[in-house]
Amino acid sequence: MKRVITYGTFDLLHIGHINILRRAKELGDYLIVAVSTDEFNAIKHKQSVYTYKKKKKIVEAIKYVDEVIPEENWEQKKEDVKKHNIDVFVMGDDWKGEFDFLKEYCEVVYLPRTKDISTTDIKNGIKESK
């Protein structure tokens, strides 16, 4: 069984999220998604609309996702790859090169982002409409 992992905040689910999860799942048989916790988002100076618990339930409901784990810090990726016997690590191509250190443990794939959609744009649009 080929195991794949990806990471993200996954706040305000949109087509870009679905596209990256679908494409990540196509690279293997079992997809693990690490969703940023509320505490980790605070460290990153990000504020989510939904709590980690709610985002976890939303992501778990997506048919491409087999398992959701918490993303609690930047350093956990190497340990997650080892712990979960990961074959393919997937991130959006805006992170290209940032996780190449994992190539020692698994294949690293950077997927193109969906054009013209982002959670930040959605949040900004909501703020502007108020």
Active-site annotation, residues: 44, 46
The C-alpha angle 20, 21, 23, rounded to 5 degrees, equals: 65
The position carrying tokens 């693990």 is 32
Tokens of residue 77, six digits: 């990726």
Amino acid at 24: A
